[in-house]
Amino acid sequence: MDIKSVIFILLGSTFGFKLRFFLKDRLKKKRIYNLDYSAIANILASLFLGFFIALRPINKNFYLFFYIGFLGCLSTFSSFIYNIFDLIKKRKYLILIFYYLEVLLLSFLFFFVGYFILQIFKS
C-alpha cells in the first residue's frame, strides 16, 4: 500500500470518527426507541453503505476514503459486540435478543433504503 492510499484512509477515518463522536455527544443519555448511539452509528453507516454500493464507484481513492476509512470508523462493531456481551453478563437474554434483532434488521433495512433512494435518483 502506498502513502497516498494511507492518507485517503486516514482522512476518511477522521471524518467517520468525528461523526461517531458527534452522535455520542448529541445522544448522550438519550435513546431513540431503545437504541444507543452505537446502534444508531451502525444503522447510519448501513445507510451510507447502501448509497455507496448503488454508486458503484470505480475510483480507488474514493473507495479507500469512504468505504475503508469513513465507514470503518463510523460503524461500531466492537461496541455492538460489547453491548451484547454486557447483556449476557447481566443475564438480560430477552433484551439481548431484541437488541440484536433491532440492530441487524434496522441496519439491513437502512442499507436497502440508501441503495434504493440512490437508484431512484440515478434513473
Residue indicated by cell numbers 469513513: 70
Q: Look at residue 93 and tell me whether its pLDDT is greater than 80.
A: yes
DSSP 45-88: HHHHHHHHHHH----HHHIIIIIIIIHHHHS-HHHHHHHHHHHH
Q: What is the amino acid identity at position 85?
A: F
| pTM across the whole model | 0.82
pLDDT tens track for 33-84: 667 788 888 999 999 999 988 888 788 898 899 988 999 899 878 888 888 9
